[in-house]
Structure 1
Amino acid sequence: MVAASRWLSSKSFFFLLTMPGILRLIITFAILLFSSQLFAVPDNGHFLVLNYHDILEEEEKVPPFDRIAVNKKHLEQHFAWLKKNQYHVISIQDLLDAMKGEKTLPNKAVILTFDDGYLSFYTRALPLLKKYHYPATLAVVGSWLEGQHVHGVKPLMSAAQIREVMASGLVEIASHTHDLHHGIVMNPFGDEHSAVTSRLYNTEYEEYEKDDDYHKRIFQEVEKSSERLFQLLGVRPRVMVWPYGEYNSIALEAAKQYGIPLTMGLNDGSNTLADAGLMKRMMITDDVNGKQFGDIVTKQRKNLSLRVAHVDMDYIYDEDDEQTARNLKALVERIKSSGANTVYLQAFSDPDGDGNADALYFPNRHLPVRKDMFSHVALQLRTKANVKVYAWMPIMAYKTDMPLKWYVKEWRDGGPQFSRHIYSRLSPFNPEARQFIGDIYEDLAKHCDFNGLLFHDDGILSDFEDVSASAMDVTHNVWGLPAEFEKIHASSELRLQWAQHKTEYISQFTDYLTDRVRFYRPYIKTARNFYALPLLKPYSEEWYAQSLPAFLKHYDYVAIEAMPFMEGAEDANKWLTELVKKTAEQPNGLNKMVFELQAVDWKKQQDIPMAVFTEQFQLLKKLGAQHIGYYPDNLHHDQPKLEELKQFFPAVNPD
């Protein structure tokens, strides 16, 4: 087909030029019609990957329910829905051929995957695949084939059965790793998490797995997996399905080195051919029927409204370990009951409340560790309260004894001076400071598992900052502005240009920090705190180096401080209305903006009355705000009041 398409686009073109006009028109139309049917690339090569696990008979559906198991009758309804709605189930070979340009993917292409190699695939799924002539991918764990036929209480396929399903011509056997489909101890609390992405914590020596040891372990496991499947099947796997959907750049490199071109995670969404090296997969959960399945496939669980509780770890930590445990238990129960689906969780310690990181709640190479507990708290919230957890981290504000040249400088008394701002900020223009902060973010990612980053509101530079030597060097030699602060400040036009450059520069610095994290946690999303004034009065970008258009470009979400009492608004509701209105003026603004209400009036040192809090929440919803949160959550005196919060806070369309 590809060769024919090239012929039609070259030789036939010159042939058509010699024909009479009407005949040329008829033949051209026929060629276009023919080629549109045979040679077009529908959906630009988009495809979905769906994921299943155990397949049950109706009588096996007994408590406690397995959320990832599917009733056999429902599985057939899923297959029937795909066929009725003209979805085309493709094989791994189809995908590889499309990647090589040897064929195009059909419209509405779907890949079916089944994880773990349960016996139910052989007895229940395979007959349905044969009935519908649907290919599928079966991911098996190498170590489970070594004489072990039961995973937990579920029977597994034998090696002979795996060879049989492969011989059917419908099933691609993928690696599910050799022996990484389990948790390992990841912190001093004894929590277990993915063996692929976690650093093993040695409780005897109280130390974490070193970089070289971790790298060696992952590469050896991938090599062993490939070798085991080769011994079993006579062919090496072409697909790696990461257990629990957990992977990182080191794991991906290991798969590549051992000749596995395709890998799969567990994030929702569609794929293009460019994503084939790391495909998103939609796990089918909660035993949905055919109609519910159709909604999942067509809507892809998009547009989830966020309900965010912004939590200070300093409220949870106590010098008494038993009290810390009680605080955490209370927090998890509170968040679970509240209806929140997202938690912004402080990963740094700020006991004096000045916004600077005095210490951190995770192991790192540069700052004191108040207590190594972020990974533990995040995991408890994710698994027991079923929420997404964002690590809330400073961009620049770290209390540390570093050379003065590392810090942000402001112009004062005729020259650059150490900034008097409450945030003691390291300058992102200084290469050593950048590396220092980047190391901290990388250490967070190495040792903790989380869903996203929330960048603190310390990422600001005033119209007198940053005039450090490294910053002014960039200002003049990169941005082309005057080398002298006085010349910039004397011109309103130059001041605005300077501010806009700084806005972009800080945003690019957070991109660098995100990249350091994504090396180990590639799937994370990002959010950044945003002051209200640069939205309401865009010219104030000059005073903050913040703007909504820039933030919308760089982050998945923007968390605006929707806090009228903090801002001294005379009419709080009118102020909030203007905030939503200004957000809606930006393309995609309401889809990405998280409106964070204040739960405390810091000026009066009083909790916001729940009647006021509820009124503001309902107003935001009425005005079209999609994502709403609040700060702070105080479990010690129940603010906001849980009994009221849980009645109106849950997201409209929870996942």
Structure 2
Amino acid sequence: MDMSFFARVIFLALCLYSAVGRAADVDNVGFLILNYHDILEEEERVPPFDRIAVNKTHLEDHFAWLKKNNYHVISIQDLVDAQHGEKALPSKAVILTFDDGYLSFYTRALPLLKKYKYPATLAVVGSWLDQKASHNNIPLMSAAQVREVMASGLVEIASHSYDLHHGVVANPQGSEESAVTSRLYSSEYEEYEKDEDYRKRLFQELNKSSERLLQVLGQRPRVMVWPYGEYNTIALEAAKMAGMSLTMGLDDGVNTLANVHAMKRMMLADDPNVQQFAEIVTKKRVGRELRVAHVDMDYIYDDDEEQTAKNLSALVERIAQSGANTVYLQAYSDPDGDGNADKLYFPNRHLPVRRDMFNYVAFQLRKRAGVKVYAWMPIMAYKADVPLKWYVKEWRDGEPQLSRHVYTRLSPFNPEARQFVGEIYEDLSKHCDFNGILFHDDGILSDFEDVSPQALEFARDVWGLPGEFDKLHASSELRLRWAQHKTELIGQFTDYLTDRVRFYRPYISTARNFYSLPLLKPYSEEWYAQSFPAFMKHYDYVAIEAMPFMEDAENPKQWLTELVQKTAQVPGGLDKMVFELQTVNWKKQQDIPMAVFGEQFQILKKNGAKHIGYYPDNLYHDQPKLEELKKYFPVARKE
């Protein structure tokens, strides 16, 4: 099984969209980390060559540009001194890192570092020092050469693990993924690595890495550079226990002293010339536009596993050609289409597993189509064998009763229900690798919900509102206050779910489905418990249903125009809003003609929309039509 991690690494480094406001100001409070790998001579740049290699001439151009533009290349010791308050970081601070310990660092990069008097960090793999003269046919440095570069006084030697720079079988389909963050899957026993075994493996591995570098260098490393940029909370803890409290992943953006435990690094790939390098350093790859395909896993699943494989292959090829750079991928099963999770597509402790395939499908989309994958998950709508008191109650016929809404929602006021959902999200993140979470549009509470005893007690004791429905409903002012509190409560609940995921996948982004009416008519928050300003606070992106036919808009063009204009009225709104067009008119059971889709796409763009997606994608009868979609969707994906 081919790991093909270079494609994944490039994707992580080049296609990771930063949340609005994520980058700090490197001129004043932050520092950049730049990442290199193999350094080539010009004559070696003949296809096929490693996309993460850089021409030596370009490397010197990069160094010269940094010097000319008053950037200050700092060492790890400078960073530690600043961390301890012994001195301040200079403005425009930059750290240079080189991964894998290739011989070209010794022969080509080190002379340039000496010429410019630039410090750098070299990350080496312990087992490669012991066993290998090359990696992927690229010569590696010897232990003696590593000692020599350290003795130069310019180079900090960091751990790149002892033997985690490879993939491990991470699912029943056999795809190989990060040895740091993946649970080993045994096809013989059809089971995943247990929590305690996974934890033990990481702690032993990082301790062994530290011990090996002590033997080679006479001192332990204080920096851990994660292979492929992959890490999680357990890995960070293991690194700290092994003496490496400074760690580095792969993520675009600027660092501050507050995040030295898991620093971002910007990979230099595709051999950027000096103009491209300047663009990367100054703009930090922020503000990229999203093109989102919203995909139902239920369309891909088939009882016949061979047919499922064919369906997946067709989907991946379609997405790769479409120009989409992001996929919202259903992680739950909803065969009756009522929006509730009946089963899940990943191992978990609470609901049946329709098939353990989300991780594999996400891996294939990332690896072969080069897209980011968000796990599309319900917030509260789970059909589960749990006590009825866990569910949302509505006021009906003068008393609280189980809600009749199509979404069978667990109550966010019930601690046991919150824990139940939290454990589902935790299990998702343990067993699956993905780039983000899309929270489903089930996160609503009407002006008659939730009136379960716990919800009414919460309204009274925590929010200072009346604890009786009749009083809560007595005036529009009270109803709106009640709704605003519920909006924030659901936002805080999704923050909790995000935290459960980020324990294992710290780098994920978040998005949440949003109905159009609370944007167009903010007073309707009373009926939905949804608000754009509140969503702006809690999520990296907000995915609004830009679906005029579903909303029976009299003038769809005007309706879409108003949707963008209302978004623009909120500061930063257009940077976060993803406008999801409909490709099916569900009320007429007809596909939306591509001429109409294209016109609506252009209306959104003309009025300032940055991020645009569509739902649903139907590969079986080519809707939306791929050849037409390719005219609208492509944006720069691999710059």
Shorter-normalised TM range: over 0.9
Equivalent in the alignment of 1:478: 462
* Structure 2 counterpart of 1:581, from 562, 565, 571: 565
Mapped partners of 1:445, 1:62: distance in 2: 40
Structure 1 residues 526, 162: closer, same or farther in 2, change over 3 A?
same
SS at match of 1:274: helix
Letter aligned with residue 100 of structure 2: D
Equivalent in the alignment of 1:599: 583
Equivalent in the alignment of 1:211: 195
The aligned runs of 1:183-332 (5 Å cut-off) are 183-332=167-316
Mapped partners of 1:354, 1:269: distance in 2: 40
Kindly provide the CA deviation profile for residues 325-365 of structure 1, in whole angstroms up to 9, marking residues without a partner as x. 11111111110100000000000000110000010000000
Q: In the TM superposition, what is the alpha-carbon distance from 1:499 to its structure 2 partner? A: 0.2
* Contact 2:291/2:612 (<8 A) preserved: yes
Q: In the TM superposition, what is the alpha-carbon distance from 1:261 to its structure 2 partner? A: 1.8
Structure 1 residues 514, 176: closer, same or farther in 2, change over 3 A?
same
Kindly provide the CA deviation profile for residues 293-316 of structure 1, in whole angstroms up to 9, marking residues without a partner as x. 010000001100000000000111
Equivalent in the alignment of 2:604: 620
Equivalent in the alignment of 1:17: none
Q: In the TM superposition, what is the alpha-carbon distance from 1:107 to its structure 2 partner? A: 1.1
* Contact 2:26/2:93 (<8 A) preserved: no
Structure 1 residues 561, 112: closer, same or farther in 2, change over 3 A?
same
Report whether the alignment pairs 1:102 with 2:65.
Answer: no
Mapped partners of 2:440, 2:400: distance in 1: 25
Structure 1 residues 564, 42: closer, same or farther in 2, change over 3 A?
closer
Q: In the TM superposition, what is the alpha-carbon distance from 1:650 to its structure 2 partner? A: 1.1
Equivalent in the alignment of 1:631: 615
* Contact 2:377/2:437 (<8 A) preserved: yes
Mapped partners of 2:525, 2:465: distance in 1: 18
Letter aligned with residue 462 of structure 1: S
* Contact 1:53/1:118 (<8 A) preserved: yes
SS at match of 1:45: coil
Mapped partners of 1:585, 1:47: distance in 2: 33
* Contact 1:305/1:653 (<8 A) preserved: no
Mapped partners of 2:507, 2:555: distance in 1: 41
Equivalent in the alignment of 2:59: 75
Kindly provide the CA deviation profile for residues 572-601 of structure 1, in whole angstroms up to 9, marking residues without a partner as x. 000001100110000110000000000000
State the structure with more CA Rg. 1
* Structure 2 counterpart of 1:156, from 116, 129, 140: 140
Letter aligned with residue 412 of structure 1: R
Letter aligned with residue 628 of structure 2: E
* Structure 2 counterpart of 1:533, from 505, 517, 521: 517
Mapped partners of 2:590, 2:71: distance in 1: 57
Report whether the alignment pairs 1:461 with 2:445.
Answer: yes
Kindly provide the CA deviation profile for residues 479-526 of structure 1, in whole angstroms up to 9, marking residues without a partner as x. 011111101101211111000000000000000000000000000000
Report whether the alignment pairs 1:387 with 2:371.
Answer: yes
SS at match of 2:612: strand
Report whether the alignment pairs 1:556 with 2:535.
Answer: no
Q: In the TM superposition, what is the alpha-carbon distance from 1:147 to its structure 2 partner? A: 3.2
Equivalent in the alignment of 2:550: 566
Kindly provide the CA deviation profile for residues 9-45 of structure 1, in whole angstroms up to 9, marking residues without a partner as x. xxxxxxxxxxxxxxxxxxxxxxxxxxxxxxxx99443
* Contact 2:28/2:92 (<8 A) preserved: no
Letter aligned with residue 547 of structure 1: S
SS at match of 2:131: coil
Q: In the TM superposition, what is the alpha-carbon distance from 1:59 to its structure 2 partner? A: 1.6
* Structure 1 counterpart of 2:356, from 367, 372, 397: 372
Equivalent in the alignment of 2:490: 506
Q: In the TM superposition, what is the alpha-carbon distance from 1:258 to its structure 2 partner? A: 1.8
* Contact 1:312/1:345 (<8 A) preserved: yes
* Structure 1 counterpart of 2:116, from 132, 135, 149: 132
Equivalent in the alignment of 2:330: 346
Letter aligned with residue 264 of structure 1: M
Equivalent in the alignment of 2:12: none
Equivalent in the alignment of 1:26: none
* Contact 1:428/1:509 (<8 A) preserved: yes
Q: In the TM superposition, what is the alpha-carbon distance from 1:65 to its structure 2 partner? A: 2.9
Deviates more, 1:61-70 or 1:358-367: 61-70
* Contact 2:246/2:261 (<8 A) preserved: yes
The aligned runs of 1:388-407 (5 Å cut-off) are 388-407=372-391
Kindly provide the CA deviation profile for residues 264-307 of structure 1, in whole angstroms up to 9, marking residues without a partner as x. 00000011111211110000010111111010000001100000
Equivalent in the alignment of 2:403: 419
* Contact 1:305/1:654 (<8 A) preserved: no
* Contact 2:374/2:434 (<8 A) preserved: yes
* Contact 1:117/1:156 (<8 A) preserved: yes
Q: In the TM superposition, what is the alpha-carbon distance from 1:63 to its structure 2 partner? A: 1.9
* Contact 1:45/1:104 (<8 A) preserved: no
Report whether the alignment pairs 1:517 with 2:504.
Answer: no
* Contact 1:406/1:432 (<8 A) preserved: yes
Report whether the alignment pairs 1:171 with 2:150.
Answer: no
Stretches of structure 1 that go unaligned for 5 or more consecutive residues are 1-40
Q: TM-score, normalised by structure 1?
A: 0.93
* Contact 2:345/2:357 (<8 A) preserved: yes
Mapped partners of 2:49, 2:285: distance in 1: 22
Report whether the alignment pairs 1:496 with 2:480.
Answer: yes
Mapped partners of 1:59, 1:320: distance in 2: 51
Equivalent in the alignment of 1:9: none
Name segments (4+ residues, structure 1) moved above 3 Å.
Answer: 41-45, 652-655
Letter aligned with residue 489 of structure 1: H
Mapped partners of 1:149, 1:251: distance in 2: 28
Identity %, equivalent residues: 79
Q: In the TM superposition, what is the alpha-carbon distance from 1:152 to its structure 2 partner? A: 2.1
Mapped partners of 1:614, 1:302: distance in 2: 27
Q: Number of residue pairs matched?
A: 615
Report whether the alignment pairs 1:546 with 2:542.
Answer: no
Mapped partners of 2:281, 2:496: distance in 1: 34
Mapped partners of 1:63, 1:170: distance in 2: 33
Mapped partners of 1:492, 1:621: distance in 2: 37
* Contact 2:394/2:403 (<8 A) preserved: yes
Mapped partners of 1:394, 1:402: distance in 2: 17
Mapped partners of 2:159, 2:140: distance in 1: 15
The aligned runs of 1:85-124 (5 Å cut-off) are 85-124=69-108
SS at match of 1:454: strand
* Contact 1:452/1:527 (<8 A) preserved: yes
Report whether the alignment pairs 1:358 with 2:347.
Answer: no
* Contact 1:42/1:105 (<8 A) preserved: no
Equivalent in the alignment of 1:30: none
